[in-house]
Structures are given as structure tokens and as C-alpha cells.
Amino acid sequence: MLDQADPEMDLRALVEESEDFTVDTRVYTSPAIFDAEMRRIFLRTWVYVGHESEIPNPGDFRTSAVGRVPVIVTRDQTGAFHVLVNTCRHRGTVVCREERGNARFFQCPYHNWLYRNDGRLVQIPDSSGYPEGWAGRIGGLLEAPRIAVLYGMIFANFSQAGPSFDEYLGPLRRYVEYWFGHSPTGRVQVLAPFRASYPGNWKLQVENSTDGWHARYVHESALRTMHHFGTRSPAVGWPGATRAFPSGHGVLERPRDDLPPEVQPQFESFRSLLAETYGAEHAEAMFVRRQITLFPSFHLMEFKFRVIQPVAVDQTVIYEFPVRLEGVPDDVNAAILHRITREISISSGGPVSSFVNADDVEAFARVQSGLADSPVERIYFSRGLHREVIAPDGERTGESSDELPQRSIYREWRRLMHE
């Protein structure tokens, strides 16, 4: 427990905002703080656990996680979604090991307790060993008390208290609508994920997903490589904007001026389709390239979902799910997938990672190593602090190289960790 590990620690002082915005380096290196994050953040706010296209039929399921809590996301026989803790109520065994499938029941492999796909306990072998009615008192698999679905994305919250999903989303909703508006129906199909891992804290990737400043430096060699193979370099200057929102969310916006020549015709027809669907002005607003963080661990990237999975204070797994847009021509979806996979390096039978991700995870590893036993006590997120523009609804706007989204992350981190 955090308080037992360091009873003198002032959680609010870990993030300070005055003339500068600084974060205590222990938030990246302390196992006690990491354990507290898993309880105070992941179990008390809205966390992405899956998409309805992954479980389209009654009985379908996929396994996922909320922080370090294993869960099963199911669609029961009535079509309703459930987010169940993947832990048997008897002796704590993980009930389901499969990543996905279809099942009316889940059976614990240890003592064969049987649960329906809505979580209800339906059978205990040789139940005569218990008093009558005992199983009813125990109940079934624990279930997230609150679930929300937006554009097919399924979010779970294990706390009855706190903001509703609409309150959690707040003014970010408009930008999420822009992102899903790339489909005329607002629907996407989530494809099989790419997976990568790195020896560093989970927040390093969360910060980086809306960091508009690092690309021209960290990804210099990758950009040269992509240019050599005929792919234009992504926009790495300072055009665009950053946005930050209550609840820790953030957006990085940049012009979509980095299309490989071989897919430009398809994307121009795509732009025309959006204009026909929404009108020219709205379509241009949608066609901006956006990377969106939904705190704590989910990102809407360029035609893909990114999910950050904390493992330990210095171990993190990243899942990236390309999406197929419903209602657009096949050649446009093929061009989108080409855009994503063109930057992908695949080792035979091994993990999948991109040139860009390889650069990022190397940077994360260096940060983690640099802070491990360092006398450096605080790091800075002050870029653009003096020029933030704050709207009445709480949305903050800055330049594309500003550390505005990162400050939003840590404002919400401080609130949840302190409460």
C-alpha cells in the first residue's frame, strides 16, 4: 500500500503547477505509486476494454484488462454487454485463458465451477458439500457496475461513484465525433492488433501519443527510411494545435499532408466522399489528422486504436488495432491499411512493431533508465504553459509543440490519486 510504503508522501505535491509545471520522478519509478495508480485511477474511472465489432454475436467474448485486473468482455444471449472479472469466486483462478471466442458458459479449470456468459454462477460440482443456498450468497463473477458504449467502443468503470461517462467525456466528444465521422455511418470494424512492449512506465506512452514536439528528433532515422522506400515523411514541423480537456484527455492536431503518392488518389476520393456526406467545411475539419487521448490508457490514432496495458512500474505493453471504416469504398480502406502497414516491420513469427514505435520505445527505455537511480527529483512539462487559451467549457488550446496534453494528464492524475 502506498501509505504504508511512505506515510510522509504528499500525493498532491507529486504534481506542481505554478511558474512551472513539474512532476516528481517517483511517479515513474515507485512500485508503491504504481500499485496505487492501479487502484485509485484504473478502478475509479472509465477504461476502454474492447469494441463491439470484436464480439458481434450473442455468446461472443474477448479477454481484456482494467489496469492489472483481468476481465472478460461478453455479449450475452440477449445481446447485452458485460465486463466480468476473470477470476473464479472460489479460489481465485483465472477462468478464461482464450483471447476471444464464443461460449454460453465459462468453466473454472481448477474445481469446475460453472458460470454463464453474463457472469451468473450456475453450477458447483458436488454442491452437497455446502449448506443449501450457499452458492446464492456467494454470487457469480464480479462485474463492472457501469458500462458505456460510444461508437462501438466499450468502456467499463468499477466504481459506482464519480462522473458519468458523458461527464467524463465532456467537450472532447466533438473531436471523437470528428474521428468516427470518417465513416459515413460512424461505425468501424476493429482488426487484429499489433503488439509491442517496452521496459518503462505506462505513462511514458500515454504522454507521447499526443506529443507533437519529439517526432522530428526521435524519428529522424525512421523518416529517412520511409522516404527511401517511397513514403513521404509525416508532418513534423509545428503546424497544427494541441488541445486539453477536463478528465485528463488531450488532442494533437496536424495537417494531413503526409500521404504516400501511391494512395493519394484514394484519399482525395475519400475527402470528396466526406464533403458529400457532411458538407465541405465540416469535412475539412474532420480531415485534420488527430491523435486523441482518453485518459488513462486509450488513444484514437491515425485510423487505429492504441491501448496501453500497464504490467509493472517499469513494464508496459502496447496494442495497436487498425480499423476498417464502414460505408467507404474498399480501395479507400485498402489505402488506409496500406498507410498503417507500410510503416510496419514484421519479423517472421515474432512480434510486430513499427519503425516509429521502435524509436519511441527506445526513448521510453532511456527515460526509465535515466530516472531509475537518478538524483533528479522533478521533470518539466512547461512548454507553452504561458500561452494556454482556456475556453469556458474547460477546453485548453495551444500550439502543436506545446506540452498541453501532458499537463492535462497530470492534472487528472493528481486529482484521482489524491481523492
For the segment 185-204, the average pLDDT, to the nearest whole number, is 94
Place of cell 450468497: 137
With 90 as the cut, is the pLDDT of residue 260 above it? no
With 70 as the cut, is the pLDDT of residue 266 above it? yes
Please tell me whether residue 228 adopts helix, strand or coil conformation: helix
pLDDT digits (tens, 9 = 90+) for 45-99: 999 999 999 999 999 999 999 999 999 999 999 999 999 999 999 999 999 999 9
pLDDT at 212: 65
CA atoms within 13 A on the CB side of 77: 7
Of 210 and 229, more confident: 210
Please tell me whether residue 19 adopts helix, strand or coil conformation: coil
For the segment 349-365, the average pLDDT, to the nearest whole number, is 62
**C-alpha cell, 180:** 468516427
Of 211 and 33, more confident: 33
Q: Are 400 and 239 in contact (CB under 8 A)?
A: yes
For the segment 294-322, the average pLDDT, to the nearest whole number, is 96
With 50 as the cut, is the pLDDT of residue 112 above it? yes
CA distances from 331 to 100, 286, 324 (A): 29, 20, 11
pLDDT at 354: 47
pLDDT digits (tens, 9 = 90+) for 316-328: 999 999 999 999 8
pLDDT digits (tens, 9 = 90+) for 367-386: 999 999 899 999 999 999 99
For the segment 22-32, the average pLDDT, to the nearest whole number, is 97
For the segment 213-241, the average pLDDT, to the nearest whole number, is 52
* 256-262 LR contacts (CB < 8 Å, sep 24+): 256/287, 256/288, 256/289, 258/232, 258/233, 258/234, 258/289, 259/232, 259/339, 260/230, 260/231, 260/232, 260/338, 260/339, 260/342, 261/230, 261/232, 262/230, 262/338
For the segment 332-344, the average pLDDT, to the nearest whole number, is 77
Q: Cα–Cα distance between 109 and 50 in angstroms, integer?
A: 25
Place of cell 485534420: 288
pTM over 0.85: yes
CA distances from 169 to 73, 144, 244, 249, 370 (A): 21, 19, 12, 8, 35
Q: Are 336 and 289 in contact (CB under 8 A)?
A: no
Of 20 and 262, more confident: 20
For the segment 243-269, the average pLDDT, to the nearest whole number, is 82
Averaged pLDDT of the chain: 87
With 70 as the cut, is the pLDDT of residue 258 above it? no
If you count DSSP H runs as helices and E runs as strands, how many of each does the chain have, helices first?
14, 25
With 80 as the cut, is the pLDDT of residue 123 above it? yes
With 70 as the cut, is the pLDDT of residue 235 above it? no
pLDDT at 351: 41
**Residues ≥6 apart with Cβ < 8 Å to 344:** 194, 352, 353, 354
pLDDT at 161: 95
Of 131 and 348, more confident: 131
For the segment 237-266, the average pLDDT, to the nearest whole number, is 81
For the segment 309-337, the average pLDDT, to the nearest whole number, is 93
Ranked by mean pLDDT, the top range of 21-35, 233-247, 276-290 is 21-35
Q: Which of 138, 141, 136, 135 is nearest to 120 (CA)?
A: 141
Q: Cα–Cα distance between 361 and 349 in angstroms, integer?
A: 21
With 70 as the cut, is the pLDDT of residue 218 above it? no
Of 242-246, 336-340, 402-406, minimum mean pLDDT range:
336-340
Please tell me whether residue 88 adopts helix, strand or coil conformation: coil
With 80 as the cut, is the pLDDT of residue 129 above it? yes
For the segment 351-359, the average pLDDT, to the nearest whole number, is 53
Of 132-146, 154-168, 205-219, 366-380, minimum mean pLDDT range:
205-219
pLDDT at 8: 55
For the segment 200-219, the average pLDDT, to the nearest whole number, is 79
Q: Are 252 and 397 in contact (CB under 8 A)?
A: no
Confidence grade of residue 231 (pLDDT, cut at 50, 70, 90): very low
Of 7 and 53, more confident: 53
Q: Are 343 and 358 in contact (CB under 8 A)?
A: no
For the segment 161-170, the average pLDDT, to the nearest whole number, is 97
Q: What domains can be seen in the chain, in order of their start residue?
A: 47-149 (2.102.10.10), 171-418 (3.90.380.10)
Percent of the chain with pLDDT over 90: 66
pLDDT at 350: 37
pLDDT at 419: 81
